Amino acid sequence: MKSLEVFYASLREQLSETVCAMQDASDAALFAEIDAAISQLRTTQLLSVSDQLYLRNSLFNSFRRLDILQELLDQKDVTEIMVNGKDRIFVERRGKVERCDLHFSSEEQLEDMIQRIVSRVNRSVNVSTPIADARLPDGSRVHIVLPPISLGGPAVTIRKFPEPITMETLIGFGTLTAEAAAFLKKAVAAGYNIFISGGTNSGKTTFLNALSAFIPKTERVITIEDSAELQLLHIENLVRLETRNRNAEGEGQIRIADLIRASLRMNPDRIIVGEVRGAEALDMLQAMNTGHDGSLSTGHANSAADMLTRLETMALGGANLPLAAIQRQIASALDLIVHLGRLRDRSRRVLSITEIGGVSHGEIALHDLFAFQEEKEQDGFRVRGELRAVGTLRRRGKLDAAGLVL
């Protein structure tokens, strides 16, 4: 008897043309076509009920969902999926990366899945533009790199965001203490401009989403992202903006900087920039300095001090200004930096909450309010310690104006 993989490949090829003409058809209509094809196959092949169910679900996943990756996406303990070519698939579970035994039957099957992902969010990825960011319907982030840039075949990285994580959940995880969360809640409500920094996979976007829940629901908020991930479910007056890559003719690109400038004409109370990577840093700082108190953003850095240095470098790339002028812009725009990190036990923690001071002797002053203090006695591989208050807020103007007492 032929293997199920052979039956699957045969049925998929048989249904491909029909499915192409059913792009707008319902899931039920697609299942009906699949069931009819399987019924026809049963007239010549002996298939058990479990075999039929496997073929039915696999074919549907290949046409409408993420093919063989769908079962990984459905597993709640999987937080990241990494595809390094058709034969090498890795997943992250509870902070540990492991290889799984799934594989695509061909590079064409993998490439078909990639094109379905990007087409749903009006993105394109091909030989001329081999790098793309996209998102899945559940909010999961997808990053794609195609050959010839990726030498081992198409590389797909999926960071799962199955549901918004609240600040209470983060407290339960030990990411920060209830005391620090209460302080941040008051700072957000009072309109402090807060920047979240951290390394790759340190939880910046998750923390930004949790922090955004403290924004009063009566305010008008505009979010600006490369790939829309934030879920501000409590804000009614919300505008979500997303960048756009250039088309095949090299035209039509919409950058983060373009969206920040556009947002200033939309009467926002607050602007949230998903991540600052380049010259748009100057536009973000200017927005924070022109009456949009309470704005939030994130960026990659190894510490709060390193984040300021990176912001200086990025802002200098956006304008030919003296460093001192850029530093004054940063010191005036930002009130707090929340720095996250991933410790050796793979846990994600808030490592510091730092107040931004003025410029003195060519440097922006930093004043730690909370700092993660590791205990001397450790419990094996697990890191023991917590975020503790180490200073008091010096720039209280916005808190006092809002009538909030720490």
Q: 201 or 80: which carries more pLDDT confidence? A: 80
Backbone angles phi, psi at 253, to 5 degrees: -70, 135
Residue 248's pLDDT is 65
When pLDDT is averaged across residues 197-209 and rounded to a whole number, the result is 92
Q: How far is 257 from 299, CA to CA, in rounded Å?
A: 15
Neighbouring residues of 201: CB distance < 8 A, sequence distance ≥ 6: 80, 159, 342
When pLDDT is averaged across residues 268-297 and rounded to a whole number, the result is 92
| CATH number of the domain enclosing 266 | 3.40.50.300
Same domain, 48 and 72: no
| The pairing of beta strand 363-374 with beta strand 385-389 | antiparallel
Residue 50 to residues 2, 24, 139, 193, Cα–Cα distance (Å): 16, 29, 31, 56
Name the residue among 196, 125, 225, 209 with its Cα closest to residue 169.
209
Same domain, 59 and 146: no
Q: Which amino acid is at 251?
A: E
Residue 373's pLDDT is 92
Confidence band, pLDDT 50/70/90 cuts, at residue 406:
low
Same domain, 236 and 308: yes
CB 63 within 8 A of CB 72: no
Confidence band, pLDDT 50/70/90 cuts, at residue 284:
very high
Domain boundary (162, 196, 219) is at: 162
Same domain, 265 and 329: yes
Domain boundary (64, 84, 107) is at: 64
Residue 345's pLDDT is 84
Domain boundary (64, 90, 119) is at: 64
Strands (E) across 45-172 are located at 78-84, 89-93, 96-100, 131-135, 141-145, 155-159
Same domain, 35 and 77: no
Q: 341 or 122: which carries more pLDDT confidence? A: 341
Any bridge partners for residue 35, and if so which?
none
Kindly state the tokens that stand for 122. 């009006």
Residue 233's pLDDT is 83
Same domain, 35 and 72: no
DSSP, collapsed to helix, strand or coil, labels residue 131 as strand
Residue 7's pLDDT is 78
Kindly state the tokens that stand for 246. 């250039």
pLDDT at 337 over 70: yes
Q: 203 or 4: which carries more pLDDT confidence? A: 203
Residue 344's pLDDT is 85
Same domain, 9 and 99: no
Name the residue among 101, 98, 87 with its Cα closest to residue 154.
87
Same domain, 80 and 210: no
Q: Of 117-121, 310-314, 399-403, which gets the smallest average pLDDT?
A: 399-403
Q: What is the mean pLDDT of the chain?
A: 88
Same domain, 283 and 390: yes
Residue 317's pLDDT is 87
Q: 180 or 291: which carries more pLDDT confidence? A: 180
Q: 399 or 205: which carries more pLDDT confidence? A: 205
Same domain, 217 and 354: yes
pLDDT at 1 over 60: no
DSSP, collapsed to helix, strand or coil, labels residue 272 as strand
Kindly state the tokens that stand for 355. 């107040």
Share of the chain above pLDDT 70, in %: 94
Same domain, 185 and 296: yes
If 0-12 CB within 10 Å is exposed, 13-18 middle and 19+ buried, where does residue 223 land? buried
Confidence band, pLDDT 50/70/90 cuts, at residue 149:
very high
Same domain, 130 and 179: no
Q: How far is 361 from 383, CA to CA, in rounded Å?
A: 37
When pLDDT is averaged across residues 373-384 and rounded to a whole number, the result is 76
Q: How far is 200 from 168, CA to CA, in rounded Å?
A: 23
Q: What's the domain range around 258?
A: 167-402
- pLDDT, tens digit (0-9, with 9 covering 90-100), for 52-104: 888 888 777 777 778 889 889 888 889 899 999 999 999 998 878 999 988 88
Its sign, for the CA torsion 54, 56, 59, 62, is negative
pLDDT at 127 over 70: yes
Domains held by the chain: number: 3
- pLDDT, tens digit (0-9, with 9 covering 90-100), for 288-334: 998 889 999 999 999 999 999 999 999 998 888 899 999 999 999 99
Q: 38 or 399: which carries more pLDDT confidence? A: 38
